[in-house]
Structures are given as C-alpha cells and as structure tokens.
Structure 1
Amino acid sequence: MTTQIYNALLAVALGAVVCVALFVPFVAMSYRRRGRLTWGRALLWIAAAVYGWAIWTYTLIPLPQSDDFACVGVNLNPLAFIDDINAALATGSPLTSMFLLQLVFNIALFVPLGFFLRVLGGRGILVAGLAGLGISLLIELTQVTGVWGLYHCAYRVFDVVDLMSNTLGALVGSVVALMVPVRIRTGAASTPADAPRPVTRGRRLLAMLCDAAGFWMVSVSVTVGVALVYSALAGVTTVGEWPAAVGTITAVVIWSAVTLATGQSVGDFAVMLRYVDARVPLVFARVLRLAGGVVGWIAVDYVPLIGGQLQTAFGLAAVVLIFLAPDSRGLPGLISTQRLTDARSRRD
C-alpha cells in the first residue's frame, strides 16, 4: 500500500470516528437552529471532518519509525518557488515535474479549507486567509520541531513557500465557494426553526439512528476509558470483558434516566419528537417506551440461547413498524399506547 493511499484511508477512518462521535449533537443542533436536518450540509460536514484529518495525515505521516533518519533544514526564502518553476520548465516536461506538482499540491490542499469556512461557517476571504496561514504555520512548526520534541530533529523541511501556497489555496477556496448559492451556504429554511413540522418516517428513522449511534458511542467510550485506567493502575495489558459490561450498563442507565424523566429517548430529543396521549398511566407508558427502544433491543440479546435471534427480530420489527403503524409511531408508540408528535407542537 502506497503512502498516499494509506494516508487517505487513515483520514477517512479518523473522519468517520469524529462523525459518529458528533452525530447526535450535530442532529440536535440542526433541528434547533434550522428546524430540520439538511442532508446536503450534513454531507459537507462529513467531508470537512475527513478533510481536517487529511491535512494532518498528508503533512505529518509517515512518521519515522526510529531516530535513524536524515535531519533536514529550513527554507526561509519566499522567492524559492521561482527557482522551482524555472527548474520545472528546464526539464522540458513541466507538468510532470515534482517541483511544480509539489507547489500545485500545496495550493490545492488548502482550497477546501477556504471553501468549507465560507459554505459551512459563513466566513469570508479574510478569515480564510488567516486560517490558512495559521494552520499552515502550526503544521510547519510541528515539522521543524520534530513533532514538538518527539524526534531529535526535523524530518520534514520548514518551508516558507509552503506557508504562502497554503494561504493562497485557502483564499482560492473562499472565492470558489461564492459559486455556491446563498440558500445552500446559509442553510436557510422557509419555515421558522421553532415551528412544528410533520412527523415523517425518515425523521423517526433518524431518531432511531441517533439512539443507536449515541448508545454505541457512550458504551464504547466508557469501555475504552475504564480499560485504559485499569490497565494503567494495575499494570496489566489484558483486562477481560468486564469493561464492556460497565460501558453497556452506563449507556443503559443514561438512556433509562432520560426516557423515564422526560418521556423522550436521546434520539427523540435530538429530532424533537415526543410520545403523547398515553392510554395507560404515564409512568407505565414511559417504561414501555423505554422497552420499545434501544434499551429493549440491547436487553433481549441477553435472553439465553435465543438472544441473538430475538435481537434481530426486534430490530426488524422496530424498522418495519415505522412504515406500518399510524403516524410513524413505530414499536415504542404501539406498546406504550401513545401517538407520536412534534415536540414543538402546543399541547391542548
């Protein structure tokens, strides 16, 4: 596997982790700021997350595996790129010259930065230029210091031309972003964010996805944290399966507390949905709503012998009933005898 492919895959993997970690907060913020989730902007944010990691992977990796590498110097001549261009022209094939390709790559690498700052952040060309210069300077300083002292000397050249080309790239990206319609750049909606909206199947599925992603993220984070702390304190490398149990129990406790206290799961809260008009006492309705969600799905897996089959059947039923049950209330609404509504709607 080439270094370029490895760096790309690493950036995608790290970007995916960031997206999963921030998925529920992003959905919740979108519904409160714009009244809905705009999938086009969501895809742009995913691309931005991958791009953010790509900057670091392409500028810092591969890291030397030992101190057995050649130390490099610095280039403080801002006009050195002229010599590179002349050298490229002298080869007779400037389009394939590494001198010119490196210069073009350094510009292109920061074009998305200016683009994302304008389209997603609403920032203009001045901020794009300052951000490009600042991030490029941070990268160059990381390189010249041997990753801030991790290595005894620099393994990549500190180049002032890189600062200039990266900044230029960010400026170009900001200008290119002007081609994107204002409506897309602002994510503006015709309906006010606090106005009730229809309860759609897609919205209910999004709530389920938020519950699943959020539950998994909490469980995994607690599991990893407990395992690392225990390993450090006990001086062992193998900790067994009990940290995973702690992680799952922690997520169950959080989801149970939120649902029993508010009647909404974390996913319901994120997309601003709620179950109302129970035909049983409210406390029972909330317990049943909890059982019909991600906590119930996790719980059936612990049934002896048939837990895996029950969990699969539970998941399929939960998805299918969104399309079959009235007002997309799904399994939680059916077993809790409640209907599903927008949380922003007024109660009679």
Structure 2
Amino acid sequence: MSIYLLPLKTALLAFPVVALVLALPFLVAQYRRYGSLVWWRAVVVYTFVFYILSAYFLIILPLPSRAAVATLVSPRANLVPFNALREFLASTVFSPLHPATWLPALKQPWFIQPAFNVVLTIPFGVYLRYYFKRPLWQVWLMSLALSLFFELTQLSGLYGYYPRPYRMFDVDDLMLNSFGGWLGGLIAPALMRAFPSREDMDARARQKGQRVTWTRRFVAWLIDNTVVLGLVTAATSLLFHLLGWDAWTRNLQLSTIVPLVIVFGFIPVVTGGTTPGKALVRIRIVRANGQPASAWRLLWREFLLYGVALQLLRGFLWSFTEIFSKFHRSEINFVLLAGFGVPLAFVVINFLWELLTRDNRYFYDVWADTTQISTTKNP
C-alpha cells in the first residue's frame, strides 16, 4: 500500500500549484462562455485535474536513481497480448473448478497488478462520460490514448532522463487501461443520477451570467492590472527608449501614469467601455440607464478609481510609513496622514458595503452615472 501513498502525497503537494496556474484561464473560459461560475463545475474540473495528476504520479513514482537504472537488464517491453492472464493462471492458486481458490487468488500480486491497471482509468471514463459528454467509443479511444501516453512515458525513460526504461512497456497495460476507461464510461450514467447534469450546470451558469458578480469583476481587474498593464508598461518603456526619451522612462511617476491612462482611459474610450480584461470576461461599462457611456464619463470614472482612490491609498501608505516606520513625526506628516486617511476610510467603507450588499456599484460608478453589464447572451 505504501507504494501508492507516495504518488498520492506528491499529487496533493503539486495540486495547489497546478490549480493556481489553471485558475485564471479556467475562470476566463467560464465567464466568456457562460458569464458565471457554477461551483459544482469547478469541483468537477479540479477533481479531474487532481485525478490526472495522481494517475500520472502513480505510473512514474517512485523514481529510482539513474545509476540504478543503468544497471538494469530486465526486458524493456512486452508486446505479447494476454501475458498477464497467462501469468495469473500459471502463478496463482486459481483453479476454475475449485471455488475455494478464487478468493485467495484475488489477493495475489498477479491479480492485484492487472486489477490496478483497470481501476486506474475507471475515473477517467466516468469524467469523460459525465462532464465531457463523450460517447462510449470515444471514451475507450481516449482511455487508450491516455494509457499509451503513460506507457510511452515509461518506455522513454521519463523523456530521456534515464538511460533506459525503469518500468516495462506492456501491451497488456494498454488493454487493461482502455478497458477500465470504457468500464467507467459504462457505469457513469448510473453515477450521474446523484449529481447535477452538465445541462443543468450550463443552464444555471447562463442564468447567473446575466449578473456581473464581484468575482467576475475581480478576474477582469486581475487581468488588466497584471497581464495587460505589464505588457503596456514594457511596450511604452521600449518605445520611449527607441525615441531617445530615457529620462521619461526613469521618471517613476510618468512611467506609471502613462500605462494606466492607456489601459484604463484610452482603451475603454476606443472600445466603448471595455478593457481587455473586461472584454475577456464579457463585461462592458455603460450608463446607469443602459445607454452607451460617453468618453468623458468613462474617463471620469477611471480617474475617480485610479486617479483618486488609488492615489489616496498610496498617499496614506507613504505618510504611515514616514510616521511609524521612519519616525518622521512632523506636524505636516500627521496632517497628511489624516488628509489621506479620512477620504480613504470612505472608499474602504463604500467597498465593504457594496461587497456585503452585493450591489457592486461603487462610488466611482455612482458619481460617473455608470454601471457594468454582462455582454453574455442568454439563449
């Protein structure tokens, strides 16, 4: 049993990293297609990812040393079908005419290993039939492809890391794995009765997709403020350098403000109310009455957010650091702390209030008479 615990522990350790890498693309895909995220769908997708990780680690772990593998003289491959069955009949106590031998035979290694290869891909078949809606013949074909990937991984010596295979390529494993996947697809309809169907998840997601949730806005904000803003900052810095304006690039305020203006001012005005992040998750800024927002309203809205709220936060953090970290406790610093802190408190309270009430129409939207709508179509 311990030989199976190590791969599962490794999968548990690797899963948070893989899930984090997949989180943003998964959210973007869900918001683009449905306009919302159904949590049961997230559970299904991420358990599928964990299963694939676990299955992969089960076929490659534990890893031997390269020196130990170099001394191996065992066969590299078995291309003779049904060798596992012949070994089972020859090496176990199983006798078809003696029922008393059946149960003891099931506890012997020559049964356990083939049974493991069947069980390994049963969940794969269940996922393919339940969530991905694949017919049985495709379930079998995809299970065969997954098994072939596993076997080639072993045959290649973990993609050339080892001088030779440390586990044998076995055609019986291909047969057993593909059968396990097909078996999973076969029993999936019975299991699906206990869980929401894919159609139910899709319908619920599209219904929820007409509302712009905080999570959806956060995903758009994250894309704009990390990926897009980073790319625009790099592009403007390169442009300034090519134009010989290196002094502008070294100016911290200018190198920060110009990309902000481009991403949150120029782009929304040109596109009619969307930034790249909002476009990816299908959000658009419009007037509160649903009419298109004019350029000055879009600019005013973004100025309130990035030119006022963001600068209040920066100013408060700067004055707080001056007083309580650098101990520059002058009267002017205390005045600046209060001057930044009082309006910032309003911004924070407004943010928390809208978050709790789920209205999600913050002060900058109210003052600019704007709101955000979903552009996802509900069929």
Matches of 2:346 and 2:104, distance apart in 1? 63
C-alpha deviation, 1:312, in angstroms: 11
C-alpha deviation, 1:262, in angstroms: 3.8
Aligned position for 2:143: 132
Matches of 1:312 and 1:12, distance apart in 2? 38
Q: Aligned match of 1:211 in 204, 210, 220?
A: 220
The one-letter amino acid paired with 1:186 is E
Task: Say yes or no: does 1:275 pair with 2:267.
Answer: no
Deviations 1:134-179 (A, max 9, x none): 1211221221121333321001111112111110111012112223
CA contact (8 A) 1:119 1:185 kept: yes
Aligned position for 1:240: none
Aligned position for 1:44: 44
C-alpha deviation, 1:336, in angstroms: 3.1
Task: Say yes or no: does 1:146 pair with 2:157.
Answer: yes
Aligned position for 1:121: 132
Aligned position for 1:184: 197
Matches of 1:143 and 1:27, distance apart in 2? 35
TM-score if structure 2 supplies the norm length? 0.64
Gap change, CA 1:36 and 1:172, over 3 Å in 2 = same
Gap change, CA 1:344 and 1:106, over 3 Å in 2 = closer
C-alpha deviation, 1:83, in angstroms: 4.4
3-state SS of paired residue (2:81): coil
Deviations 1:87-126 (A, max 9, x none): 4556975555444332222212212222222223221111
Gap change, CA 1:63 and 1:273, over 3 Å in 2 = same
Task: Say yes or no: does 1:338 pair with 2:377.
Answer: no
3-state SS of paired residue (2:67): coil
Gap change, CA 1:221 and 1:6, over 3 Å in 2 = farther
Matches of 2:52 and 2:306, distance apart in 1? 32
C-alpha deviation, 1:131, in angstroms: 0.9
Q: Aligned match of 1:286 in 280, 298, 302?
A: 298
Aligned position for 1:230: none
Task: Say yes or no: does 1:107 pair with 2:139.
Answer: no
3-state SS of paired residue (2:197): helix
Deviations 1:38-75 (A, max 9, x none): 33223212222222333322222344443332434222
Aligned position for 1:158: 169
Gap change, CA 1:6 and 1:37, over 3 Å in 2 = closer
Deviations 1:7-39 (A, max 9, x none): 3224523540343141333223332xxx64333
Gap change, CA 1:334 and 1:340, over 3 Å in 2 = same
Matches of 1:295 and 1:266, distance apart in 2? 20
Shifted more, 211-220 versus 45-54: the winner is 211-220
Matches of 1:312 and 1:27, distance apart in 2? 34
3-state SS of paired residue (1:274): strand
Task: Say yes or no: does 1:322 pair with 2:334.
Answer: no
C-alpha deviation, 1:314, in angstroms: 6.2
Report percent identity of matched pairs: 21
Structure label with greater radius of gyration: 2
Shifted more, 95-104 versus 50-59: the winner is 95-104
C-alpha deviation, 1:270, in angstroms: 4.8
Q: Aligned match of 1:22 in 25, 38, 48?
A: 25
CA contact (8 A) 2:267 2:274 kept: yes
Aligned position for 2:274: 264
C-alpha deviation, 1:188, in angstroms: 6.8
3-state SS of paired residue (2:285): strand
Backbone CA RMSD of aligned residues: 4.5
The one-letter amino acid paired with 1:343 is T
Matches within 5 A, 1:192-203: 199=211, 203=212
Gap change, CA 1:29 and 1:109, over 3 Å in 2 = farther
CA contact (8 A) 1:275 1:339 kept: yes
The one-letter amino acid paired with 1:211 is A
The one-letter amino acid paired with 1:8 is A
Matches of 1:60 and 1:283, distance apart in 2? 57
Matches of 2:82 and 2:172, distance apart in 1? 7
How many residue pairs match? The answer is 312
Matches of 1:138 and 1:298, distance apart in 2? 50
Gap change, CA 1:191 and 1:3, over 3 Å in 2 = closer
C-alpha deviation, 1:258, in angstroms: 4.9
Gaps of 5+ in 2: 95-100, 232-254, 322-339
3-state SS of paired residue (1:276): strand
TM-score if structure 1 supplies the norm length? 0.69
C-alpha deviation, 1:186, in angstroms: 3.3
